[in-house]
Amino acid sequence: MPYIQNTDREVREMLETIGVSTIGELFKSIPEEIRTKCHLNLPKQMSEMEVLQHINTLAAKNRAAGDYILFLGAGVYNHFIPALVDHLAGRAEFSTAYTPYQAEASQGVLQTIFEYQTLIAELTGTDISQASLYEGATALVEGIYLARAQNPKRTRVLVSKGIHKEYLQTLYTYSKNLELKIEEVGLSGGVTSVEKLKSIVNQETLCLAFQTPNFFGCIENGPAIVKAAHECGALAIAVVDPVSLGLLEAPGKYGADIVVGEAQSLGMPMSYGGPYLGFMGARNDYVRKMPGRIAGMTTDVDGNRGFVLTFQTREQHIRREKATSNICSNEALCALRAAIYMTTMGRKGMEQVANLCFQKAHYAAEEIRKVNGYGMRFNAPFFKEFAVSCPKPAEEINAALLKRKIVGGFDCGRFWPEEKNTLLLAVTEVNSKEEIDTLVKALGEIR
C-alpha cells in the first residue's frame, strides 16, 4: 500500500468539501457510550523515509523458505514455479480483474477459465471441471454436497481416516446443520482398510471419500475403493495431489465419480497459507449441480469463436434456494496461475516433475532407513511423502533440525497423539541430493 500523507491544509479542505468542520463529526453515528475516551498509546508519527526503515527492520527478522532446507509438506508443498507463471499472471488485465458479472464482455478471463477447466478435466480423468473453489478442504466438502444433490435420499457419508485432518474438520463444520451422518473408516498399514469398508458400506451410503496419496503419503487402492462404493450405489470421491497425476493413474480413469483436491502445487507459492485453489472434476451427468461456475466455448453469429458462462448457479445470480453454492469468488487469478503452469509444463513436464518427486523421496527414505533408530512407519507404496518412525518425539527432532537451518517434516502427534514419534517428510523436485544427504546426516547426529 502506498504511503499517502495529508497536510493539515489538505485535511481542512477535505472536511470543508464534505460539509463537516472536524474529523470527529464523521463518527457521529457511533453511540457516545461505546466510543473510546482514553488517549491511545500510539507511537509518534513517522515520515515516509522513517516508515520504510522501520518496516525493513521488522522484515529483516523474518526468514523465508529459501533460507532453509525444507522438507515440510502435509498439504502445502515447495515446488518449482516457472518464471512464465508470474510474468503472465501478473499482467494488469489479469491481476486487476474480478469475477466477470458482465461475463461475455470479459472474453480474456472467460478463455482462461475455459482453458483451466479443460486442463483439470484432462488431469483428473473426468468429463467436466469448474472454476473454482477456495482450497482443498472446501473442495472436498463441495464434492460431498454435489453427491448429496445427486441422491438426496441417502445421508450416510463414509470418509477415510487417511484424509487430511483439517479437511475432515472443515467437513464437520460445514455439515453441522445438515442431515449427514459422517463415519470415518480406519486405516490398516497406512491405507484405508478395504475389507473394513466392504463390511460397513450399505444402501444408505451416499458416498465414500478417500485421499490418494493419503495424508501419510501412502498410495491407496483406489480401484478397489471405488468398486466397493459402486456395488452399493454410492458415489466415490477421490482427493488427490495433482502433481501425483503426472505419474499415477487419474481417479476418473478408474471410475471415481468426483475428483477434488488442492492445486497449490500447480504454480502457486506457499505464501504463508494462501490464497490457494480448490479444484473439482466430475462426470458430465453432474454438470447442472456443480458449484461455482462453468465457462463454455461457442461461436457467435459470424462464426467467430467466443466464450460464455454456460452455468453460473451461484446465489448471486439465481434464487438463493436454487443455488448450488455460495462460493463468492471464482478464484480466477489462482486458476489462471494453475492453467499457465500446466500449459508451460505440458504432459512431459508434468511427468518429469512427478517422477523427480517420486525418485528423490524414495532415495531419501532408503537413506533414512540406514540411520540408527529411524525407520519407515508404513510399508505401503508412497509418492513424495512418507512417515518416519523416530527414536524420540518428532517435536524434538524438528527443533534440533531447525538449529541446523533445516525445516523438518510434519509432527504427526499434532493430529494423532499416539504418533508423537512419527515425522511426515515431503521431498519434491526442488530438493537436491545434497539437501537430502544433509538431512540424513543431521538425523544421525541428533541424540
CATH number at residue 429: 3.90.1150.10
One pLDDT digit (tens) per residue for the chain, 447 residues = 576 778 899 999 999 999 999 998 999 899 988 988 888 888 888 888 998 999 999 999 998 888 999 999 999 999 999 999 999 999 888 876 566 666 677 888 889 999 999 999 999 999 999 987 899 999 999 999 999 999 999 999 999 999 999 999 999 999 888 889 999 999 999 999 999 999 999 999 999 999 999 999 999 999 999 999 999 999 999 999 999 999 999 999 999 999 999 999 999 999 988 899 999 999 999 998 888 888 999 998 999 999 988 887 665 666 667 777 666 566 788 999 999 999 999 999 999 999 999 999 999 999 999 999 999 999 999 999 999 999 999 999 999 999 999 999 999 999 999 999 999 999 999 999 999 999 999 999 997
Say how far apart CA 281 and CA 126 lie, in whole Å.
6
Contact 278, 132 (CB under 8 A): yes
Task: Say whether both 387 and 415 belong to one domain.
Answer: yes
124/236 same-domain check: yes
Choosing from 289, 318, 342, the residue where a domain stops is: 342
**Could you say which of 342, 364, 385 is where a domain stops?**
342
Q: Are 423 and 394 in contact (CB under 8 A)?
A: yes
Q: Do 153 and 259 lie in a common domain? A: yes
Instruction: Give the H/E segment covering residue 396.
Output: helix 394-403
- 430 in the same domain as 299: no
* CA distance linking residue 12 with residue 120, whole number of Å: 55
Q: Are residues 261 and 308 in the same domain?
A: yes
Domain-located, residue 120 = yes
The vertex-269 CA angle with 439 and 170, nearest 5°, equals 95
Percent of the chain with pLDDT over 70: 94
- Looking at residue 152, which CATH number applies to its domain? 3.40.640.10
Q: 104 lies in a domain?
A: yes
Per the domain annotation, does 193 fall within a domain? yes
How many domains, in total, are found in the chain? Answer: 2
Within this chain, do residues 88 and 211 fall inside the same structural domain, yes or no? yes
- 160 Cβ partners below 8 Å, 6+ apart? 184, 185, 187, 192, 208, 209, 210, 211, 214, 220, 225
For residue 411, which of 430, 390, 440 has the smallest C-alpha distance?
Answer: 390
d(CA 323, CA 317): 8
Cβ–Cβ under 8 Å, residues 339 and 351: no
Q: Does any domain span residue 326?
A: yes
Burial of residue 297, with CB atoms counted within 10 A of its CB: 0-12 exposed, 13-18 middle, 19 or more buried: middle
Q: Are strands 385-389 and 422-426 parallel, antiparallel or unpaired?
A: antiparallel
Q: Does residue 323 sit in the same domain as residue 358?
A: no
Select from 342, 358, 373 the last residue of a domain: 342
Q: Is 92 helix (H, G, I), strand (E, B) or coil?
A: helix
> Is 304 a domain residue?
yes
One domain, residues 359 and 437: yes
423 and 274 part of one domain: no
User: Which pLDDT tens digit goes with each residue over 144-164?
Assistant: 999 999 999 999 999 999 999
* pLDDT, the chain, mean: 92
Domain check: are 119 and 263 in the same one? yes
DSSP state of 296: E
Same structural domain, 133 and 215: yes
Q: How many CB atoms lie within 10 A of CB 189?
A: 11
- Please answer whether residues 422 and 412 qualify as being in contact, where contact means their C-beta atoms are separated by less than 8 angstroms: yes
Mind listing the pLDDT tens digit for each residue in 12-45? 999 999 999 999 899 989 998 898 888 888 888 8
Residue 198 has what pLDDT?
A: 93
The H or E element that residue 294 is part of is strand 294-299
Residue 42 placed within a domain: no
Q: DSSP letters of 207-237?
A: EEEEESS-TTSBPP-HHHHHHHHHTTT-EEE
Task: Evaluate whether residue 45 is within a structural domain.
Answer: no
| Structural domain span for residue 186 | 83-342
Q: Is residue 365 part of a domain?
A: yes
If asked whether residues 431 and 310 sit together in one domain, one would say no
